Amino acid sequence: MSTIANTIFSPELAARFDHLVTIYPVKRSALIPMLLYAQDEIGYVSEAAIQEIAARLDLFDLEVRSVLSYYSMLRTKPAGKYNVQVCTNISCMLRGGYEILDHCKAKLGIGHKQVTADGVFSLEEVECIGACCWAPAMQVNYDFHEDLTTVKVDEILAQYRSGAKETI
Amino acid sequence: MPKLVSHSDETIVLKRRFGQGATDIDKYIELDGYAAVRKAIAQGPEKMPAWIVDTMKASGLRGRGGAGFPTGLKWSFVPKGSTKPKYVLVNGDESEPGTCKDHVLFLEDPHAVIEGTMIAGLGIGSKLGFIYLRGEYRYLLKIVEKAVAAAYAKGFLGKNIFGVEGLDFDIVTQTGAGAYEVGEESALMESLEGKRGIPRIKPPFPAVVGLYGGPTVINNAETIAAAPHILLMGGPEYAKLGSERNGGTRLFGISGHVERPGVYELPMGYSLRKAIYEVAGGIKGGKKLKAVVPGGASCPVLTADEIDVGLDFDQMAKAGTMLGSGGIVVLDETVSIVEFALRTIKFYQHESCGWCIPCREGTDWIMKTLARVYEGGGQKKDIDNVQYLAENMMGRTFCPLGDAAAMPTLGFVKKFRKEFEDYVEGKRAGTPVMTTEHDLVGAGH
């Protein structure tokens, strides 16, 4: 039983949130993990999620919104089922990161922060993801893909599209 | 999955358990895991804290996040008689472009980070540690969470750890949600407290007033992971592996135009030239070296003639740059320095948290001016202006992000001025890849 009546989250996530607020010396510390996990479940951070998280942490909605708007991985609109994030920062740029980005744009027919019409993919150009020694690299949701070529990107996208590959 | 690499010149300390399945706690224990924390506890409750801090001091270990502050000294700053709870905060918010060493560390040896966190806690008298990873490292968080749960199951974490009455230590793990700035220690504390990641003014330093107002030791994940090895081998033995005033080894991520990019463990003071030409196999495709960004994107560039320098904090400072986070980015002759400088400042402009005006405005104007030069509409005075802006950002912000943006900019403009002037005159060096299609000033970023 969640401490919040009529929670918008699944029973598992509600239980996880009940626990999260107890592990820090100050309950507000759970805010960023809660926003991430809410986004993982809903696909984005919705108005209802903001309100419930604020209630759970005894914060104003505004305080939650202020934190939400700061972090680049948090979004208030749905992304595709598979969010393709291509790094073009220095180490990736030197090894073809822009070529990979352009290829993804052409292949998916969308630009930065856009979603395909069928909602399967979205695309983002992102800053360094910490895979510099295996560049060029990208993430699909939380999965890393390294040492990319345009051929490899095609294979990866096809695997997600066909459902042969699930993200973590 | 990141490829593991090796080279005969490596000195293996931190990588000792890599590739051996040490994410499993039993395997970790078989490979001397949790022996260091047991050794510390065996000193007895009276002697233990001082023994830990003294051993760390003797090791000559300096912070691997980039600042290079002596770790033992930092731990010794925590007031002993504090009435407030003390905390250990492990910075795994690895975000400096060119840096992916902690990525491999969490992947291959998460228990070393956990054991190091416990050691720091026992050294300063803390009962709670936090391991904070960057948001993109969710799969690594899962690995660390599993390792923490296994340590609890063995009684290594929680109440009465290792069966010692009254000795408690807990670890909380979490990730951020995408923000370079949060890698700065005071912004990291803000983020962990559930706030926007903006820096705090210093002093007071975290060792005195940190998380939740309590004394806090904040160390990079690699620094923390070195602690168990140091306690097992002894401070002086570890120190001997490195160079003068730069103890031990560190993980260097060599990326860019080299034949064998990867994370290598080299002794402090190792030759940068050898790291590029021998360890990483030389320049990709037999091309000529043009420049090296030696310690992550914020470090001033070295030209091809300046690489006969030892990789430690002091020698790099003497060479006019920094050892930084150990991310060595190698640029071959095809690189356009103007483009590289623009891509670098575009990153810092995107990541500036906006709290300090010199950083917020400086990064934006440098980016816009460099974009103009890059696109061919620049004037000579734009180059002077970029330099002027960068010089005026230096030392005028709460946190080092302003400096981190200004320093590489100054390096590029001063060392490759001719190339910027050529761009103004319509001559483009190298083979740039960014076009106006690529959102040069980050408007849609």
DSSP string, B58-74: HHT-B-TTTT--BHHHH
- Measured between beta carbons, the chain B residues lying within 8 angstroms of A35 are 177
| From B1, B175, B253, residue closest to A132, measured CB to CB | B253
Nearest residue of B to residue A144, measured between CA atoms:
B1
The minimum CA-CA distance between B287 and chain A, rounded to whole Å, is: 14
pLDDT band for position A3 (50/70/90)? confident
Q: Does the domain made of B249-332 have the CATH classification 3.10.20.600?
A: yes
Among B74, B99, B91, B73, CA closest to B324: B99
How many whole angstroms separate alpha carbon B307 and alpha carbon B297?
A: 17
> Would you call B100 and A73 a contact, using CB atoms and an 8 Å cutoff?
no
Which residue type occupies A112? H
- The alpha-carbon radius of gyration of chain A (Å, integer) is 18
pTM above 0.90, yes or no: yes
What local confidence, expressed as pLDDT, does residue B109 receive? 98
What local confidence, expressed as pLDDT, does residue B36 receive? 98
CATH no. for residue A103?
Answer: 3.40.30.10
**A106: which 2 tokens?**
């052409």
- Examine the domain organization and report whether A20 and A60 are in the same domain: yes
How many whole angstroms separate alpha carbon B225 and alpha carbon B243?
A: 20
**B175: which 2 tokens?**
């990730």
Dihedral pair phi/psi, residue A75, rounded to 5°: -135, 155
| From B179, B353, B439, residue closest to A112, measured CB to CB | B439
- The alpha-carbon radius of gyration of chain B (Å, integer) is 22
Nearest residue of B to residue A139, measured between CA atoms:
B136
> Would you call A113 and B94 a contact, using CB atoms and an 8 Å cutoff?
no
- Asked whether residue A44 is assigned to any structural domain, the reply reads yes
- Measured between beta carbons, the chain A residues lying within 8 angstroms of B2 are 131, 133-134, 144, 146
How many whole angstroms separate alpha carbon B217 and alpha carbon B87?
A: 6
Suggest the residue from A57, A84, A91 to mutate for an interface test with chain B (most B CBs closer than 10 A): A91
The minimum CA-CA distance between A5 and chain B, rounded to whole Å, is: 24
> Would you call B347 and A89 a contact, using CB atoms and an 8 Å cutoff?
yes
Hey, where are the domains in chain B? Answer: 14-241, 249-332, 337-438
> Would you call A71 and B176 a contact, using CB atoms and an 8 Å cutoff?
yes
| From A26, A125, A135, residue closest to B193, measured CB to CB | A26
Helices then strands, each counted (H, E), chain B? 17, 9
B191 touches chain A (CB under 8 A): yes
What local confidence, expressed as pLDDT, does residue A151 receive? 98
| From A67, A142, A146, residue closest to B194, measured CB to CB | A67
pLDDT band for position A5 (50/70/90)? confident
> Would you call A127 and B351 a contact, using CB atoms and an 8 Å cutoff?
yes
Burial class for B80, CB neighbours closer than 10 Å (0-12, 13-18, 19+)? exposed
What local confidence, expressed as pLDDT, does residue B1 receive? 79
Q: What is the pLDDT along chain B (445 residues), one digit of tens a residue?
A: 788 999 999 999 999 999 999 999 999 999 999 999 999 999 999 999 999 999 999 999 999 999 999 999 999 999 988 899 999 999 999 999 999 999 999 999 999 999 999 999 999 999 999 999 999 999 999 999 999 999 999 999 999 999 999 999 999 999 999 999 999 999 999 999 999 999 999 999 999 999 999 999 999 999 999 999 999 999 999 999 999 999 999 999 999 999 999 999 999 999 999 999 999 999 999 999 999 999 999 999 999 999 999 999 999 999 999 999 999 999 999 999 999 999 999 999 999 999 999 999 999 999 999 999 999 999 999 999 999 999 999 999 999 999 999 999 999 999 999 999 999 999 988 899 998 888 888 754 4
In this prediction the ipTM stands at 0.97
- Examine the domain organization and report whether A115 and A138 are in the same domain: yes
What local confidence, expressed as pLDDT, does residue B302 receive? 98
B177 touches chain A (CB under 8 A): yes
Residue appearing with tokens 């910490």: A130
> Would you call B444 and A113 a contact, using CB atoms and an 8 Å cutoff?
yes
How many whole angstroms separate alpha carbon A45 and alpha carbon B369?
A: 36
- What are the residues whose beta carbons fall under 8 Å from the beta carbon of B356, sequence distance 6 or more? B199, B396, B397, B398, B399, B402
**B127: which 2 tokens?**
């009962």
Contact B372, B383 (CB under 8 A): no
B434 touches chain A (CB under 8 A): yes
- pLDDT tens digits, residue range A73-119? 999 999 999 999 999 999 999 999 999 999 999 999 999 999 999 99
- Measured between beta carbons, the chain A residues lying within 8 angstroms of B222 are none
Dihedral pair phi/psi, residue A28, rounded to 5°: -55, -25
| From B97, B193, B329, residue closest to A29, measured CB to CB | B193
- Examine the domain organization and report whether A63 and A133 are in the same domain: no
A-facing residues of B in 99-138 (CB < 8 A) are 99-100, 102-103, 128, 134-138
The SS3 assignment for B170 reads strand
- Measured between beta carbons, the chain A residues lying within 8 angstroms of B297 are 89-90, 128
How many whole angstroms separate alpha carbon A156 and alpha carbon A164?
A: 10
The minimum CA-CA distance between A39 and chain B, rounded to whole Å, is: 11
Suggest the residue from A132, A139, A140, A143 to mutate for an interface test with chain B (most B CBs closer than 10 A): A132
B4 touches chain A (CB under 8 A): no
Which strands form B302-303's sheet, in the order they lie side by side? B262-267, B249-256, B327-332, B289-293, B302-303
- Examine the domain organization and report whether A158 and A86 are in the same domain: yes
What local confidence, expressed as pLDDT, does residue B81 receive? 86
> Would you call A23 and B297 a contact, using CB atoms and an 8 Å cutoff?
no
| From A25, A111, A133, residue closest to B261, measured CB to CB | A133
Q: Which domain holds residue A56?
A: 11-68
Nearest residue of B to residue A62, measured between CA atoms:
B195
Using CA atoms, how far residue B71 sits from B59, B220, B239, in Å, is 9, 10, 13
- Examine the domain organization and report whether A63 and A89 are in the same domain: no
| From A28, A73, A132, residue closest to B98, measured CB to CB | A132
Suggest the residue from A90, A113, A122, A129 to mutate for an interface test with chain B (most B CBs closer than 10 A): A90
Of A68, A96, A116, the domain-final residue = A68
User: Which architecture characterizes domain B337-438 according to CATH?
Assistant: Up-down Bundle (1.20)
Angle at CA of residue B137, ends B134 and B139, nearest 5°: 150
Q: How many domains is chain A built from?
A: 2
Helix, strand, coil shares, percent, chain A, to 5 = 45, 10, 40
- Examine the domain organization and report whether A26 and A50 are in the same domain: yes
The minimum CA-CA distance between B134 and chain A, rounded to whole Å, is: 9
Q: Taking 80 as the threshold, does the pLDDT of residue A168 lie above it? A: no
Whole-number mean pLDDT of chain A? 96
Is B337-438 in the same CATH topology as B14-241?
no
Nearest residue of B to residue A32, measured between CA atoms:
B194
The SS3 assignment for B196 reads coil
- Examine the domain organization and report whether A87 and A156 are in the same domain: yes
What local confidence, expressed as pLDDT, does residue A163 receive? 86
Specify the CATH class of B14-241 in words: alpha beta
How many whole angstroms separate alpha carbon A54 and alpha carbon A50?
A: 6
